[in-house]
Each structure stands twice: as structure tokens, then as C-alpha cells.
Amino acid sequence: MRKQSKTRKYIRFILLVIGALIMLYPLIWMLSSSFKPEETIFQNMSLIPHYFTLENYFIGWQSNHVVTFTTYFINSIRVSSLSVVGNLFACSLAAYAFARLDFKFKPLFFSLMMLTMMVPQHATIVPQFVYFTRLGFNNTIIPLVLPRFLGVEGFFIFLIMQFIRSLPRELDEAAVIDGCSKYAIFFRVILPLCKPALITTIIFTFIWSWNDFFTQLIYLREATQWTVTLGLRLFIDATARSAFGPMFAMSTLSLIPTIALFIFFQKYLVDGVATTGLKG
């Protein structure tokens, strides 16, 4: 029986490794192609370059004569970071209100908040564009960041709210006895215990903002305001020769921030699940 159990574990492990390699193959091929001379990328499909070169990275970083990819990375980090701060601030406050406070028309507001999750982005992009144009915010990062500070992300509000509801109300009552106001309860009691939900919000907000292309394409016009996703499209030209080598090189570099963020917060995610958000 023990031998059969070990055999099953080995088979399961081998199948998981094969599945992981299949899923990672496109990324591995992209990484390998970024070190190949551009003329040999599609001629030699081997994962190991016969001729190793860093030329694609140098050419890709100097994407055009106006700005380099340094500007694109700075803009992406700025937009993603501000989006994370906005979602953490607005969504946590809204979630606390729905989970702990009693106010008039609360069921109605909650239903409207949930309804916003069912409305596709493309149905609201035109009126938003008109409003931001009248306010003079086009070609700036304000349309990309400002909505995050207004609590428009119903998914994250619901996520944090459900986590707050799992916390015992006795914590709130004990804080009230100690003389804490509702704001003090939120900042001193509830917020520290919501670390797993907040970290999940950080990860998904950063990744979604970093990978966003459609919204940034609508509002950002000048190259000095472009982000990484808009910078990558410079290498694809339907009317001329496309630069696949530099595109693969810059695409590889664009993955580093999101992968590093996930690796950094992975420990906190595991600890949060193991402790169910309560310690001590």
C-alpha cells in the first residue's frame, strides 16, 4: 500500500510538472527569443539560442527618438501605485461602512454597488471620456487614477466587506468600551486584521493597472505620458516591418514588476490563509 501511495504521488508530481511546463512554454519561448538575433527568431524555434545577443534589449529600450522605455516604466509605476493607494483607501472605507455601519438606504446602495460589477467597461467609457474631456483631464493620468479614489471597484469593496464580516463584532464592542470612535475602530482594529484582503487588493489592482491597455489608449496621447503597454505597440506596424526581437525583450522586462510583487506578497497571502486573518 505504501509503495502504491508513493507511486501515485510521483505520477501526480510528474503530471503537474508537465502541465506547468506547457503553461510556461510561451513565456520561456519569449524569454529565449529576446536573446536571439531578430532574423533567426522564427527560423530557429529552439528554446536555447545558438547565438546569444543583448542587442534586442538595447534597441528596445531606445524605442523611439522622443522618449525611452524608462519613461514608460516610470509612468506605469506611477499609475499602478496611485491606483493601489486609491483602491485601498476608498474600497476599505466603503467595505467597512457596508459591513459594520447602519445608515439609511443601505440595502439600496449595496445593490447599486453590486450592479456596477455587471456593467461592462465599454458601456461607460464614452460618457466618462466626455466628462473628463470637459474637465480638461485628457492626456493626463487623472482619468486613470481619480476613479480609484472614488470607490468604483465593486469587486474589491465586496471582497474586503466579506472579510470584515468574518471578524467577530466583540472586537468592535471592546474598542467602544475603550473609548474608540468608529474611525478609530476602523483604523486600529479592523484595518490591521484585514491584511489578507488588502494584500489581495494590492496584487490585483497593480496587475490590472499595469496590464491595462484600452483605457490608457483612450486617454493618453503624447508619448511622454505613455505606459509600458502603449510603448510595446510601437514595435508592431501593420504597414512596415515589425520589430519582434525588441518587443520580446521589452515584454520580458515588463513582466518583472508583477512577478516581483507576487513573490514579495506570497508569504503574506499564505500566512493570511493559515491564520484566517486573526492572530493572538
Residue range 238-248, pLDDT digits in tens? 566 778 888 99
Architecture of domain 66-275: Orthogonal Bundle (1.10)
Considering only 40-49, 88-97, 172-181, which range has the smallest mean pLDDT?
40-49
Range 29-35 average pLDDT: 90
Residue 251 pLDDT = 92
Least confident of 107-116, 231-240, 248-257: 231-240
Sorted by sequence, the CB contacts under 8 Å of residue 46 that are 6+ apart come out as: 32
Ordered by start, the domain boundaries in the chain are 66-275
Residue 95 has a pLDDT of: 93
Q: Give me the mean pLDDT over the 107-121 stretch.
A: 87
Tens digit of pLDDT for each residue in 7-20? 888 888 899 999 98
Predicted confidence at residue 269, as pLDDT, reads 65
pTM assigned to the model: 0.85
- Output the CA torsion 272→275→276→280 (10° steps): -120
pLDDT of residue 74: 94
Q: Is the pLDDT of residue 143 over 90?
A: yes
Mean pLDDT of 147-175: 89
